[in-house]
Amino acid sequence: MDVSIIIINYKSSELIINCISSIKEFTKNLEYEIIIVDNHSEDHSESNIKSKHPDIVWIPVSYNAGFSRANNVGMAAAKGKYFLLLNPDTLLFENTIHKSVERLKQHPDVAVIGGLQVTANLEAMHYFRNRNEFLKFLIVLPNSLNQWLDKIFPNPVFEDENQAELTCGAFMLLSRETVALAGKMDEDFFMYAEDFEWAGRLRKVGKLCYYPDIRFVHLEKDSPFRRTNISPINRFGTQMQVSNLLWIRKEYGLAFYLFLIFHYVSLATFFYVWKIFVNISKLRNPFGELRSQKIVALKTLVYLKFFWKTVFKIKGFYKIATEDNIDVRFK
């Protein structure tokens, strides 16, 4: 078996049916299996998918295990020499998997090949390819001060123009041997930033690379954890940021984690007080029109619920409670 393609399902049967159809249409000259790990969808996903693609391997999980744990289940059951982690909301439009496998064979110093994301119109989509670029995104400052962030967090320079520090979890191809050396995905993460954490260990095995001719369509399906009401200050999804802060603690240590927590608490407080003074200066109700401020403050309180657990790097499942999904509450 050349490649085990691992797709995580949570109530995404129609997307997966289309994804598998695209795999079968465009993947040539490879022996592969398709493993679907179901995160306790409790719907008709299995029958829907198997009615169109009866040859898949279906692995049910007894709870919503998120991305890391479900992929680890899939990799444990996989028979292939290579593993391809693929999102359900993706489509292939060329022989991308074969190209990726051949590229890994040609470059033994490369540990992971990531796919370049494009829209359905084949337009390039942005993704953070280095850590400093993402760190600058985590720090919220006035635009006039962003030049200082560029100096503090310069973009890395690589000899290989295809090299990156981070790869997108929606399409990652790597060998069984690489996973054995780097270790499985960190099961503390529920969703988001697990690919960043894993990338840190994978970089010790070899290069992480993107190539211009290895692309896939990423549809980005709706998710209950996707951020809404986005603004320069309210730029984080609640679950996303809990995971980001966990990654910061693991990758950069306690001091930087504490700095970010202080930064967000200060920002939420200032944002609230500033709006109250603006209302007063305009002779309005001091506590009116505070919707954005409430969203930022409530999200910050959720981050603090994980504070001690993150400080002491306590093993567990860093998944927010339903009532703490602030983006859903304020849709």
Four-CA torsion 154, 265, 248, 244, nearest 10 degrees: -100
Residue 145 has pLDDT above 90, yes or no: no
Residue 31 has pLDDT above 70, yes or no: yes
Average pLDDT over residues 136-143: 91
Average pLDDT of every residue of the chain = 94
Determine which of 147-151, 163-167, 299-303, 313-317 has the lowest per-residue pLDDT on average. 147-151
Average pLDDT over residues 100-121: 96
When pLDDT is cut at 50, 70 and 90, the band that residue 227 belongs to is low
d(CA 281, CA 31): 69
Q: What is the DSSP letter of 145?
A: G
Average pLDDT over residues 30-35: 98
Average pLDDT over residues 96-114: 97
d(CA 279, CA 156): 44
Range of 25-39, 211-225, 274-288 with top mean pLDDT: 25-39
d(CA 226, CA 258): 25
Q: Name the residue ranges covered by the structural domains of the chain.
A: 3-127+166-218, 238-329
What topology does CATH give the domain 3-127+166-218? Answer: Spore Coat Polysaccharide Biosynthesis Protein SpsA; Chain A (3.90.550)
Range of 129-143, 199-213, 232-246 with top mean pLDDT: 199-213
pLDDT in tens, 61-78: 999 999 999 999 999 999
Residue 48 has pLDDT above 60, yes or no: yes
Q: How many CA atoms lie within 13 A of 156 on its CB side?
A: 16
Query: 3-class DSSP state for residue 74?
Result: helix
